[in-house]
Each structure stands twice: as C-alpha cells, then as structure tokens.
Structure 1
Amino acid sequence: MTALVIGVDGGGTSTRCVVATVSGEVAGRGYGGGSNILSSADPGGSLRGALLAALAGLDPGEVTAGVFGLAGGDSARERTEAVAAEAWRAAGLPGRPSVVSDALAAFAGATAEASGAVLIAGTGAVAARIDDRRVTGRADGYGWLLGDEGSGTWIGRRAVRAVLASVDGRAAPTALLGCFGDAAEPAPSRSPEQAGPGPAAPGPLGSAGSAPSAPSAPSAQEIVRLVHAGIAESGPAWLARLAPAVEAAARDGDAAATAILDEAARRLAATVGALGPVSGPLVLAGSLLTEPTLLAGKVRAGLAGTVVTARDSAAGAAALALHAAGAGAVPDPLAAHRRLIG
C-alpha cells in the first residue's frame, strides 16, 4: 500500500488536482471548471470533478491528507470549507481536507522555501506574506465586486466600461468594441484541461483572440445585455474572458486598452507593496503574470529582490499536504516537496 496526498488549486476559471505519493511523485491529475466561491457558477461540481478525475485508477482509502488552495476562500471561509468537505466526501475520501489560501498553494508550488511573498493575478488578484508556510498578511483578494484590482475580471470590467463610454460618445473610439462584434453570445470556453489558472478562455472574440474583420456596431444596450447574460450563465469570472482582448488591443497601440493595463499594473504593484518588506522570494502567479503578457512586463519592471515565477499550484497544495501529514506519514517532507515541484 502506497500512502497518497492530494492537492487542489481552485480559481475562478479552472480547478486543478494533483494526487502525489509521500515521496513526491505525481500519481494522478484531474481538472475541472472554476471553483471560486465568490465568482464561479458551480464550485462544488468543479472540485468533485477534478478530484474524481485525478483519483481514476487509485484507491481513495490510501489518501492520508489533502489541502485545497481555493481563491475566494478567505472571504467566505465557512462556506468554502463546507463545499470542499462535501466534494471530498463525494469522491469517497476519508477524513476532511484542509482549506488554505490559493496564494499559499501558489507559493509552495514555486519554491520549497518556508517564507516569502506571493502576488496572484489571474481571474482574481491577491498578495500575501508567507511565514513558515502560513499566510501572516494579505492585501486585496476581496472578490470581483469589492476588489481583485488588476485581475482579469477587473480588466474585463474596465474594458466593458471603456467600450460603453466609446459607444455613447463619452470617450474616443476603441478597438475593444470588436469584442462585441455582433453582440452575439460568447464562444464556448476551452476544456478545463486547457483553461489554465487564469483568464485564458476565449470570449466573444472567438478562438483566435482577435476581433472579427468587419464587426457590426452594437448598441450600448446590446452590449449590456450580452455582459449580463454572460455573467448570469458563467458567473462574474465571465468578465475575465475579455482580458486577452485588452492585451491584444494594447499590443496594437489602442489607447484605451493601454490605459487599462497601465492602471492594472499600478494597482497590482500597490497590492504587493502593501505587505511591506518581506524576507524570501516573491512568487508571481496567475496567467496574467506567468505568461509573457504586457501586464507581466509592466509589473515586473517595478519589483525588486528575488522574483520567482509560479509553476504548479496544485502540486504546491499537495506539497503542503506532505508537510501537514507529519513525519510519521512522510519520512522527508522537504525532499518530497522539492521533488514534487520539480
């Protein structure tokens, strides 16, 4: 019998699950839709699906510990823990998982160091100070309605506002209007296996991520209808689907898109700066900061010290489970941690 641990990384767009042995080898992986309690349409279903996929062919009775790193959990702790526990039971797993901030899982997935800081910008946005593998300070991460400044959802909201201001004459024309070509319904998202941790799924632009060659000019009312319909169907995380369009328009020199990214970078820098001086590396996580985006370049330009790019937050959550399982179950948690995150 080989003892196993489980790590889950759940964000607004996708959920990833890793099953690992106590020596640090990956035994299974699974994926699901978004599981942010504050913005995803079906968090419990996404967690359950990712767990079941990762456990395929494995014995759930061999699992000794589990850690869920979930976005939005700090703002709705009781509900998040209840949803996580229900998904755990539905997968036939013994005991209960621990629920931690997605920031802690992202940090542990990038480094085996015990202390430092992490800045996440994907569907949501948050910064956290890490001391001895515990979150001891945080800034933002308050959800799409009250915070997450500089996130994909924040960028999407700003893009919609810029388009509406352009359509009704309050602002100059912007290429972002192409997002709403014929005011048609948004294209289907990619599969969870492809979606990644941030706003990578295509929206109204289509799979190519660029505006149609000859879009019609929708009215402001049609745009409002489309946005509300998208949010009603997929949750507020739907707005983050517009972030790649803002990136593309800014690369083409669109003034409105460039201004949105400049402001997003300033807000993200302010978020991590609010933590004050930290010892250890700063981990950048979330697709807006780990992929070669304009926003990532703008944010990095204002950072000092050792900056590390996040790799696998689900593996990071599994590594936290290795440490939580204790020396009796895991002979060398630090060595297993390093092996697991590569």
Structure 2
Amino acid sequence: MAGRGRAGGTNVVSVADPAANVVAALRAAMDGLDPARVVGGVLGLAGSGAERAGLMAGEAWRSAGLPGRPSVVADVLVAFAGATTEPDGAVLLSGTGAVAARIAEWEVVQVADGHGWLLGDEGSGVWIGRAAVSAALMALDGRGGPTVLVDGLAPLGTSADAIVSAVYARIAESGPAWLGTLAPLADQVARAGDQVAGAILDDAARRLTATARTLGRHGGPLVLAGSLLTEPTELARRVWAELGDDTRPITARDGAAGAAALALRAAFPSAELHRRVIGESA
C-alpha cells in the first residue's frame, strides 16, 4: 500500500465534523505522493443519510486536492471486501454504530439496523456506552444494583448530577459518538465479573446476533467487523458464543485494503488482484 492515513470518525449522524476527518485521513494517506497519479477512489462511510454522506465525501475529496470524484459505498461493503474475495455473504458490524448487511455480487442488497445512535445501532459502542452511564446513574439513585461502572465514571463526576452534566457537555462538544468511548470501560468491568456490566454486554450480544439473523440464509461467509468485534473484546466473545455453529463467521481485517480492492475491481475485475491487496491466501 502506497500510503495510509488515520483520523476520527466519519458518521454523518453522530460525529461533529466528519468532513474534516475524511480530509485529514486523505491528506495523511497522500503525504509524499503525487495527487495527479490518483485515478479513482472508494470511500466506505457509516451512518444513515446516503445523500448527505455522498455530498460530504465529494467535498472532502476536492478539499484534499484529489482529482475526479470518489465512489461512496457503505462501510459494511468495504469491511466485507477487506475480509474475503467471495462475492456473496453478510456483514455484522459493531463499532461506534451497529448494522448488519447481506452482500450479493459486491452489492449491499439488504440492511438491518444502522439507524443511528438515537433510533437504533443496537449493540454498538454508543449503545453500550449509553447503557453503562444509565446503569451507573441507576446505581447512584437506588434504582439499580451496585456496579463498578460508578467508579469507572468517577473522572466525569462522583454524583449523578455531575455525571449527567459532564456527559451532555461531552456530547455537545464531540457528538453522540463520544458515548462509544465508554464501551471499553463496560467491556473491562464485565470481564472482571461485574454483573451489571455483564448484563449490558449479554444484551448487546443478543441484539447484534438477532440483527444478523434478520438477514436469513445468505450463503458465503459472515464477516464480523467493527472494533468491538475484531478486537479481543468481551463483547466479541459473547457474540461468537451467541452465533454458535450455524454460521461461517470470519473476522474483518483491513477496511482500507477492502476499499482499495473495490477500486481495483472497478478498473481491473480480478479476484487475484483483490486477493493480493487484502492478503488472502489462495
């Protein structure tokens, strides 16, 4: 790979300034490279509102000084292409958001959830973070059982009022995606045996697998994508247990390589090139 760049999230629903993050990632990836040599691009973006995402991506592409216009696809398709050269299958993603999708001939043909932090994304990092804060508040005011989550949220405040004020302030500053930064706390506390946090992750795992099963039988692999399912998290362990043996799950690898593979497929329809880009064994 000639270059790589990293930046913040790009979900047009839950991130405060997704366009700036796209521009930052593109500029970092192109550092030291000639933009004139770029012949195409694929951006895999999360979030509801495809038209908004497309407009944002086009503006970001131009702001980064790149020629032409990129193809904008769903992040689930990029995750799928980065994990397998098979044209059909499904994706279950849990990161900041959560969604499942069925893929047929490199097209997203069915989607379940992915409705954003307020209306869906069940089992996502934001969903888990919000549930963790709610559980801590319930413990503090006597509506729920004791949980170590209260101690974990101490940097935000030691009273319910202080925690509520801090959370709303962080969301106003950084967008609802900030709640996803609390998901690792819930994961860590659940791994240590906290029953309240464990119940949150059990619920998240059940909701995620139910979303995936909504797609029905699809043939091909089920790709588990998103940081909460590709890292060795407690949530990932519970999702694998919920899935059981009736699926063909594989873990997503490099989304950037998946986007590059899709761009290559548009110019040179070759499974071998795709395999080399994503590092898949023949």
TM-score between both structures, scaled by the size of structure 2: 0.96
Pairing 1:77-226 to 2, within 5 Å after superposition: 77-183=50-156, 218-226=158-166
SS of 1:28's equivalent in the other structure is coil
Note the residue ranges of structure 2 that are not aligned, 5 or more in a row. Answer: none
CA 1:91–1:247 in structure 2 vs 1: closer, same or farther (change >3 Å)? same
Q: How far does the alpha carbon of each residue in 1:189-236 deviate from its partner, in whole angstroms, 9 at most, with x for none?
A: xxxxxxxxxxxxxxxxxxxxxxxxxxxxx2211110010011111111
Q: What is the alpha-carbon distance in structure 1 between the residues aligned to residue 133 and residue 110 of structure 2? A: 32
Match for residue 239 of structure 1 among 164, 179, 184? 179
Are positions 1:318 and 2:260 aligned together?
Answer: yes
Structure 2 counterpart of 1:340, which letter? V
Q: Contact 2:126/2:179 (CA < 8 Å) preserved in 1?
A: yes
Match for residue 34 of structure 2 among 37, 41, 59? 59
Displacement, 1:92? 1.6
Structure 1 counterpart of 2:169, which letter? A
Structure 2 counterpart of 1:161, which letter? S
Q: Contact 2:139/2:146 (CA < 8 Å) preserved in 1?
A: yes
Identity of aligned residues (%): 61
Q: How far does the alpha carbon of each residue in 1:247-281 deviate from its partner, in whole angstroms, 9 at most, with x for none?
A: 11111211110100000000001000000001101
Q: What is the alpha-carbon distance in structure 2 between the residues aligned to residue 305 and residue 267 of structure 1? A: 16
Q: Contact 2:229/2:235 (CA < 8 Å) preserved in 1?
A: yes
Structure 2 counterpart of 1:118, which letter? V
Q: Whose relative contact order is higher, 1 or 2, with alpha carbons under 8 Å and at least 6 apart?
A: 1
Runs of 4 or more above 6 Å deviation:
none
SS of 2:73's equivalent in the other structure is strand
Structure 1 counterpart of 2:154, which letter? G
Query: Could you tell me which residue of structure 1 aligns to residue 250 of structure 2?
Result: 308
Query: Could you tell me which residue of structure 2 aligns to residue 28 of structure 1?
Result: 3
Query: Could you tell me which residue of structure 2 aligns to residue 269 of structure 1?
Result: 209
Note the residue ranges of structure 1 that are not aligned, 5 or more in a row. Answer: 1-25, 185-217
Displacement, 1:333? 2.8
Q: Contact 1:106/1:310 (CA < 8 Å) preserved in 2?
A: yes
Structure 1 counterpart of 2:251, which letter? T
Aligned length: 277
SS of 1:147's equivalent in the other structure is coil
Displacement, 1:182? 4.5
Are positions 1:294 and 2:237 aligned together?
Answer: no
Displacement, 1:94? 1.5
Are positions 1:49 and 2:36 aligned together?
Answer: no
Q: Contact 1:65/1:324 (CA < 8 Å) preserved in 2?
A: no
Q: What is the alpha-carbon distance in structure 2 between the residues aligned to residue 270 and residue 39 of structure 1? A: 23
Match for residue 334 of structure 1 among 267, 271, 278? 271
SS of 1:278's equivalent in the other structure is coil
Q: Contact 1:31/1:53 (CA < 8 Å) preserved in 2?
A: yes
CA 1:116–1:182 in structure 2 vs 1: closer, same or farther (change >3 Å)? closer
Query: Could you tell me which residue of structure 2 aligns to residue 196 of structure 1?
Result: none
Query: Could you tell me which residue of structure 1 aligns to residue 222 of structure 2?
Result: 282
Displacement, 1:91? 1.6
Displacement, 1:315? 0.9
